[in-house]
Amino acid sequence: MPRSADRIRAATRPRRPRRPQMEEFMAYYFDEPSRTFNEYLLVPGYSSAKCIPQDVSLKTPLVKYRRGEEPAISLNIPMVSAIMQAVSDDGMAIALATEGGLSFVYGSQTIEDQAAMVARVKDYKAGFVTSDANLSPDMTLEQVVALKEQYGHSTMPVTDDGSAHGKLLGIVTERDYRLSRMSMDEKVADFMTPREKLVVAPDGTSLKAANDIIWDNKLNSLPIVDADDHLVALVFRKDYDSHKSNPDELLDAHKRYMVGAGINSRDYAERVPALVEAGADVLCIDSSEGYSDWQKMTIEWVREHYGNDVKIGAGNVVDAEGFRFLADAGADFVKIGIGGGSICITRETKGIGRGQATATIEVAKARDEYFRETGIYVPICSDGGIVYDHHISLALAMGADFVMLGRYFARFDESPSAKVMVNGTYMKEYWGEGSARARNWGRYDLGGKKSLSFEEGVDSYVPYAGSLKDNMAITLLKLKSTMCNCGALTIPEFQDKAKLTLVSATSIVEGGAHDVLLKDKAPYASNTR
């Protein structure tokens, strides 16, 4: 009998097929492990005296463009919010556009509700506000107080039909009533400031002219009316001040905030027209798997009905093949990432995914190759796997044009989820679109019953972090400082000059505080933990 080692070799030796016509089938194995952002560090480069954070530009393309042309839409900062119920509603969209980014309003809701959210963002025009708390003259003081508590507005217009665009009859502010001296059933008509005492401006008045009127007349608000004296919008002193203090605002040609919207590959024939009508600037197919005919068919339908006028991103993919498939299908940008999100359990549930760093690097190379071959630059978005602020820097250095963030934005006041107390600490609720709570069948379903047969996301909490503006200011300063350390003042220059190194497990430990007793137990490395 052969020796044990000989028997093992014989058992493992490839066997010839018994019939020549039969082929051998074997899975493809990648030679290198897939890696995450935390396994890399940037090596600093030469930084000239001109490399200071205040001179760094974070402008980056959102949609594809041809060589020698400018993209139809660019972001002023490389950050967009995830297409999630717990993250992206109209409130988040306005707040993020104010800072120069873009929010994709979540699609796991009725078509009517999603379109209404998009419309509210577009109505919030750089200083011109469509009132969402309106009164009719026969309403009572009790109803005024209830509306104030519901919407938080102290100024409410009075129109003949109680709508946002009815004939203007007056305005109610906190100066018009005193709860301690008035009956709650008193009519609005009896205590409002009537139309004849109001200073108004005609429709078409520029923002600058409107604010000159506000200052000249010492007003807090100015109604804009049309030729028939119907209310068009309101201009507030505070909103003008805010506008002047946010130079990076992401605005369309009509000075309205820009907003995106998520769609699925099932009801796009009904959803897309409603979103386009509402004013959505860009769409994105929200799916855990972008390398599919479903996404191709969705893009083709949009192109057939709207040509290139409607911008649509697609994804998610994790390799060059997936990118090229969607680029050839006509996607305006491509999202990267499967299983890397903090609430995503796709890898655990299905064994599908790839390390976010490796996926970003490969897809970036494929994008550049596609650009050389076709002259068309298709931006890529790294979606998932970002735990610390510096991971954003790494994603951009690896070739991403912008990043999509869920957990990061879910922590802020502007996200739609509830703020709750958990073990003495304020938290924000945060759940994945693949969780039982979301039941977003349109994102995961491959046919049959319109329901999830198993979960690909969890229901969780994230530490409450306060306002979006304050936190993003810190994050963006870190990003700009990192770029300066690498000698770059723009994102393309950063990608060209960046030097990246793999780090060992020991190096990762060494990179944080060690061998000391921390005074503060709070996470020190980043406010995004």
Count of CB atoms situated within 10 Å of the CB of 392: 25
238 with 341, same domain?
A: no
Residue 460, classed as helix, strand or coil, is strand
- Angstrom distance (rounded) from CA 43 to CA 486: 8
The CATH number assigned to the domain holding 231 equals: 3.10.580.10
d(CA 471, CA 469): 6
Residue ranges with strand state E in 226-266: 231-236, 260-263
- In-domain check, residue 311: yes
The pLDDT of residue 511: 78
Do 240 and 155 reside in the same domain of the chain?
A: yes
Q: Are 121 and 132 part of one and the same domain?
A: no
pLDDT at 18: 52
Within a domain: residue 118?
yes
- pLDDT tens profile 138-190: 999 999 999 988 877 889 999 999 998 999 999 999 999 999 889 999 999 99
- Residue 25, domain member (yes or no): no
For position 77, what pLDDT does the model report?
98
Q: Is 115 found in the same domain as 205?
A: no
Question: Is there a single domain that holds both residue 401 and residue 486?
Answer: yes
484 lies in a domain?
Answer: yes
Range of the domain at 141: 128-244
Q: Are residues 330 and 402 in the same domain?
A: yes
> Do the Cβ atoms of 399 and 359 come closer than 8 Å?
no
176 in the same domain as 278: no
Residues 110 and 146 occupy one common structural domain: no
Q: Single out the residue in 211, 244, 277 at which a domain terminates.
A: 244
For residue 456, what pLDDT is reported?
Answer: 59
Domain boundary among 244, 273, 301: 244
Residues 6+ apart with CB under 8 A from 419: 413, 426, 427, 428, 464
Answer yes or no: do 294 and 231 share one domain: no
Residue 284 resides in a domain: yes
**CATH of residue 431:** 3.20.20.70
**139-154 residues labelled b (16+ CB within 10 A) or e (exposed):** bbbebbeebbeeeebe
Q: Structurally, how many domains does the chain consist of?
A: 2
Last residue in a domain, options 215, 244, 273: 244
Active site residues: 344, 443
pLDDT of residue 130: 77
Can you give the pLDDT at residue 508? Answer: 77
- 30 part of a folded domain: no
Asked whether residue 322 is domain-assigned, the answer is yes
Would residue 491 count as lying in a domain? Answer: yes
- Residues 277 and 366 reside in one and the same domain: yes
Q: What is the dihedral of CA 235, 238, 244, 249, to 10 degrees?
A: -80
Both 339 and 395 in a single domain? yes
Q: What is the mean pLDDT of each run of 10 residues along the chain (529 residues)?
A: 40 46 76 93 95 97 98 98 94 95 96 96 76 91 91 89 93 92 93 95 87 90 94 81 76 90 95 98 93 96 98 96 98 92 69 92 98 98 94 98 96 92 91 60 50 58 92 97 98 98 86 76 48
User: Can you give the pLDDT at residue 323?
Assistant: 98
What is the model's pTM? 0.77
- Do 98 and 150 lie in one domain? The reply is no
Specify the pLDDT at position 59: 98
Residue 524, pLDDT score: 44
Quote the radius of gyration of the chain (alpha carbons, Å): 27
Distance of CA 39 to the CA centre of its chain: 26
Report the interhelical angle of 389-397 vs 468-485 (nearest 10°).
50
How long is the chain? 529
